[in-house]
A and B are shown apart, each in its own frame.
Chain A
Amino acid sequence: MALDRSDVAKIAHLARLAIDEEAVPTYAQNLSNILELVEQMNQIDTSGVTPMAHPLHMAQRLREDVVSEVNQREHFQAHAPSTEAGLFLVPKVIE
């Protein structure tokens, strides 16, 4: 599947990535090449094959409902980009 400029723009938006306008054609080319590689998967008919999400055949382990974490707000926020009054700040969110 060859991707064009608008495909790249759409994907970049979905992934929240700013891409320089002049870099878009190179991305389109590289992504198309990668997809071409990936599409070699179609050489094989996989109908009826169970998808494998995980290498191990294990079930999820369950944790007891016991508080194990203490407040480390100052430690966690020490290098945060922007905080005030214990809150992380972002540009105003309009709902």
Chain B
Amino acid sequence: MMEWEVVIGLEIHAQLATKTKIFSGAATQYGAEPNTQACAVDLGLPGVLPVLNKEAVRMAAKFGLAIGATVAERSVFARKNYFYPDLPKGYQISQFELPVVACGHLDIELEDGSTKRIGVTRAHLEEDAGKSLHEDFHGATGIDLNRAGTPLLEIVSEPDLRSAKEAVAYMKKIHSLVRYLEICDGNMQEGSFRCDANVSVMPKGSDTFGTRAEIKNLNSFRFVERAIEFEIERQIDLIEEGGKVVQETRLYDADKGETRSMRAKEEANDYRYFPDPDLLPLEIEPSFIEAVRATLPELPDAKKARFMEQYGLSAYDAGVLTASREMGDFYESLVEQAGGEAKQCANWMMGDLAASLNKENLEITESPVSAAMLAGMIKRILDNTISGKIAKDVFAAMWAGEGDADAVIEAKGLKQITDTGAIETLIDEILAANPEQVAAYRGGKDKLFGFFVGQAMKASKGKANPAQLNELLKAKLDG
């Protein structure tokens, strides 16, 4: 059996979060009525001309700086010519020979905990196409050009990825980065962030890449993983059965979990690129780049390192808590308000909070329990008002909208019992009710200690201070 090596490169399309189109002053809001955000320029009416959006350039430069790339002093817009109904002008304005961003890189974490550097060949500005609606209009297709002209940053990786998992890790990293930079909302359902995957296989150890297939328009991390895995298997099976992989464009069918050839789009791929004569070369002054650099936020890798150093977190915890800019902000706000209990804060965020968010499919910014509320609760643990176990109930109540921690503790009477006398009374009752177990314990069955703790806790409805209970119980049993 031959061993195979997989080679993957991704082309990620990130819609830039500008207010207007890349070449026109029409709005880019998602979900508007069809063709109400398609102005004369977006419709490609005769006589119209493009003028470049400064914000799109700024965002591209920001991305370039964030991946250690070169932001080109001079780049050129070119026309990519082909006919398609969602492409109003019969060409897409893109960048071909001279992109705005080149030669960057990004580190991803592999499953074994090691990191791997992935090259970013280039990132270029281009315009998005409109949408074809295939619902039946008497056997016709409807064209909505609202999306036409939305700025895209196409981020092209080197063929450095060696598995579907690496591809997903890379895509997630870019996804997190563009959101950190606030240049893309990252909304994959709405198509703001999507990718094409170039996949090929070659015999292990070979230095010649196999023929690649391009899988178009993958708009979820899960689809990326499944589509690539299917494609790898398809190509290996094909070759092992004596066939040949053909260079082609394929579409992932999420329902069937397979990729299929898009022959219709394949024929005569001669895009006749040439410099767009309606646009002049984009020249970016060093001062522009420096001004953009000054707006760069702390980036994920730097933040992660700082979290490990400053808060004493493990690499894993720091990674989770810096996965998005909002997560990091929530965490830091939480720690500050909770009086510096970094580990405790991390546990709550990654435990109950994360589970609750996940269950209801909410973003951290949509959490009903704010950082201030969670901090208020953690403080009550620290000052012994409640135990960690009771805190779980308090959290659930806060999540359900029953108020902040103090209100919940008050309303439900969850305040911890710390009065020694009250705990002693409790213990006495338990010992009196279980004479056989007391005798057995005193006869050497140490393990029964847990039984007494459990009984006492149960009797206190969980409110007895665990440390005090342990101490007093031990004294009574041993004494």
Contacts and interface: CB of A to CB of B under 8 A. Distances in A.
Interface of A: 13-14, 16, 53-54, 56, 58-69, 71-73, 76-77, 82, 84-95
B265 interface: yes
B140 A82 contact: yes
A59 B141 contact: no
Contact of A86 (B34, B43, B134, B283): B34
9 tightest Cβ-Cβ pairs between the two chains A and B: A68-B25, A87-B142, A65-B55, A62-B54, A59-B283, A69-B39, A86-B34, A88-B143, A69-B26
Given A76-B43, A76-B45, A69 B24 contact: yes
Interface in B266-308: 268, 270, 272, 275, 277, 279-283
A88 B142 contact: yes
Given A53-B275, A69-B24, 14 more contacts: A13-B268, A14-B270, A14-B272, A53-B277, A60-B281, A60-B283, A62-B52, A65-B55, A76-B35, A86-B33, A87-B142, A89-B137, A90-B85, A95-B134
B150 to A, nearest CB: 13
A72 B38 CA distance: 8
Given A89-B143, A92-B139, A93-B141, A64 B264 contact: no
B53 to A, nearest CB: 5
10 contacts: A60-B77, A61-B52, A62-B53, A64-B54, A65-B53, A85-B34, A86-B36, A89-B140, A92-B139, A95-B251
A67 B19 contact: yes
B25 A66 contact: yes
A90 B76 CA distance: 33
A30 to B, nearest CB: 21
Interface in B352-382: none
Interface in B110-157: 132-134, 137, 139-145
A66 B20 contact: yes
Contacts of B265: 95
A67 B20 contact: yes
Interface in B1-47: 18-20, 24-27, 33-40, 43, 45
B57 interface: yes
A81 to B, nearest CB: 11
Contact of B140 (A53, A58, A71, A91): A91
Interface of B: 18-20, 24-27, 33-40, 43, 45, 51-57, 76-77, 83, 85, 132-134, 137, 139-145, 251, 262, 264-265, 268, 270, 272, 275, 277, 279-283
Contact of A65 (B54, B76, B83, B139): B54
A71 B251 CA distance: 34
B282 A59 contact: yes
A65 B76 CA distance: 20
B19 A66 contact: yes
Contact of B142 (A65, A72, A73, A85): A85
A73 B34 CA distance: 9
A73 B43 CA distance: 10
A85 B135 CA distance: 12
Given A60-B282, A62-B53, A62-B54, A77 B27 contact: no
A21 B283 CA distance: 48
Nearest to B56: A65
Contacts of B51: 61, 63
Contact of B39 (A13, A59, A72, A89): A72
B25 A69 contact: yes
Given A13-B268, A66-B19, A87-B144, A93 B282 contact: no
Nearest to B86: A93
B37 to A, nearest CB: 7
Contacts of B83: 16
Contacts of A60: 52, 77, 279-283
B280 A54 contact: yes
A46 to B, nearest CB: 17
Contacts of B24: 69
Nearest to B34: A86
Nearest to A68: B25
A69 B26 CA distance: 5
Contacts of A66: 19-20, 25
A54 B275 CA distance: 9
A63 B143 contact: no
A56 B280 contact: yes
A87 B35 contact: yes
Contact of A87 (B26, B137, B251): B137
B146 to A, nearest CB: 10
Nearest to A65: B55
A89 B142 contact: yes
A71 B36 contact: yes
A56 to B, nearest CB: 7
Nearest to B282: A60
A24 to B, nearest CB: 18
B20 A68 contact: yes
A54 B36 CA distance: 34
A7 to B, nearest CB: 13
A63 B85 contact: no
A72 B41 CA distance: 12
Given A61-B52, A65-B20, A94 B140 contact: no
